[in-house]
Amino acid sequence: MGSVLSASVGCLTLAMLLTCSNAYAQPRWDGLDSLLRTARGSGTELTAAATLDLSRLEPRDALLISGASDALPVGALTTFLREGGRVALLDDFGGGERLLAAYQVKRLPPPETDVPSLRGSRALLIAYPASEHPLVEGVELLLTNGATALAHHDLNPVFTFGHTERALVLAGAVGAGRLVAIGDASLLINQLMTLPSHQRFATNLIGYLKRPSGRVFLIDAHTRFQGNYGANTARVLAHVDGFLKRVARPNLPAGVLSLVSLGLCAIASVIVIGSLPRRSPYARSELIPRASVYAGFAARVAQSEHDPPNLIWMLLDYRRELTAELFRRLDLQEPSGVDAIAARAEQRGLAPQQGAELKALLGRLEQLALIVDTQATPPRIRVNELRNVVRQGEELLTRLGNG
C-alpha cells in the first residue's frame, strides 16, 4: 500500500513540476489574471477593487482577500460577516493576522515530516481533502507555496497537509455569514492556476462565496479600504428603534391588551414549535460538521471557555451602539466627530463637565478602535473595564434625556 501511495504522489508531483515549469512563460506568474478568467468562465464577475468603499457593501456581497499586505479593517469585516457577508482570506504571513485572531484561528508551522511535497521541498507541500465540503468537490490535491498551517478548537479542517491534522483550509459559519481561512496567499496565483485541481478549487470557492444578486470583490495587496461598513445604516436603525418604542406603548384598554397578548403568545408558540429543526442543521453540506465560528457576544462567551476572555470586541460593539444612539438623540448627521457630538450634547442641556466626560469617553473608544484597526495585537479589555465604560455611557445618556 505504501509503495502504491508513493508512486501516486511521484506521478502527481512530476505532472505538477512540468506544468509549473511551463507557467514561467506567462507574464506576471504571481498575478491573479487566471483567477479572474476562471470566475468569468463560471458565470461570476469577480471585481478587482483598487479601492473598496466598505460603506457600499451589502450583506449579500462577498470578499475574496488574497495576500493583503496591510492590516485589514477588522471591526468592519466582523460586522459584515455577522450580518451575512462572506469572506475568503488567503493569507500566510500577511495582513490577515488580526482577522484570524478575532475568530480564534491560530497560525502554526506546517508539519515537518510525513507530508508529500514537490521536488522534495518543504516549501512546496501537498494538501489533501479532509472533509465533505463544497470546496473539496472534484479537487484531488492542492500544491502549496510557503504556506502556514491553521488551527481552530471547534473547526474541522477542509484541506490538510498530507494526512496530518494541520489544516491548510478552514471554513465555518460566522453569525449569518461564512468565513473561509486559507493559510497560503499564493494558492490562486497564475502559476498554480495552471493546475486543473487549483482551477476547480477556485471555481468551488467562488461558487461558495457568491450569493444571489450579490457581488464578489477581489482584494489583493494593492487594494485600499475606505469608509466603514454599516455607516449608512445607523440612522435607519435609530428610526426603527424609535418606531418600535412607539408601538410598545399603544393607547388601548387593558382588556384589549390582554386579549392581544394572549393571541401573540399563541402565535409565537406555533411559530417556535414549527421552526424547530427536524434534524441537526449541521448535516447540510454547506457547513462543516460541528463547525461554527461565532461573532459578537456569542464569540466572547465561546472564547472565554478556552482562553482568558478579551472583551475588546464587545467594547467596540457597544461603541457602535452608543454612537448610533447619540446620533439619534442629538439629531446629528454622519460623519460627525467627537468634538461635534460633545458640543451638540451641551447645546441640548448636558452640563459642561458632563460634556467633557462624554468627549473623553468617545475619544477613548475611538482610540481603541484605531488601535484594533492598525496594530497586530488588539488591546486587552477586562470585565471591569467594560462594565465601567457601559456604566459611564448609560449615565450620560440618562442625563441627556430621550431627545
Q: What is the pLDDT of residues 67-90, one digit of tens each?
A: 887 788 888 898 899 889 999 999
Under a CB-based contact definition with an 8 Å cutoff, are residues 185 and 155 in contact? Answer: no
Q: Which of 136-145, 171-180, 301-310, 333-342 has the highest mean pLDDT?
A: 136-145
Helix-strand-coil split of the chain, %, nearest 5: 45, 15, 40
> pLDDT per residue over 265-319, tens digit each?
776 666 655 555 444 433 333 333 334 454 544 554 555 554 556 788 788 888 8
255: how many CB neighbours lie within 10 A of its CB?
Answer: 8
> What are the E-state strand segments in 194-351?
216-219, 224-226, 292-293
Q: What is the mean pLDDT of residues 135-144?
A: 93
Q: What is the 3-state secondary structure (H, E, C) of 81-146?
A: HHCCCEEEEECCCCCCHHHHHHCCCEEECCCCCCCCEHHHCCCCEEEEECCCCHHHCCCCCEECCC
132 neighbors 288 (Cβ within 8 angstroms): no
The pair phi, psi for residue 272, each rounded to 5°, is: -65, -45
Give the pLDDT of residue 85.
92
Which range, of 55-64, 108-117, 138-147, 305-314, averages the lowest pLDDT? 305-314
Cβ-based neighbours of 285, under 8 Å, separated by 6 or more: 132, 133, 134
State the chain's maximal CA–CA distance in angstroms: 84
CATH of domain 23-226: 3.40.50.880
User: CATH 3.40.50.880 residue ranges in the chain?
Assistant: 23-226
The 10s digit of each residue's pLDDT in 325-381 is: 888 888 887 667 888 888 888 888 888 898 899 889 998 988 888 887 777 677 888
For residue 335, whether the previous peptide bond is cis, meaning omega lies within 30 degrees of 0, is: yes
> What three-state secondary structure class fits 47?
strand
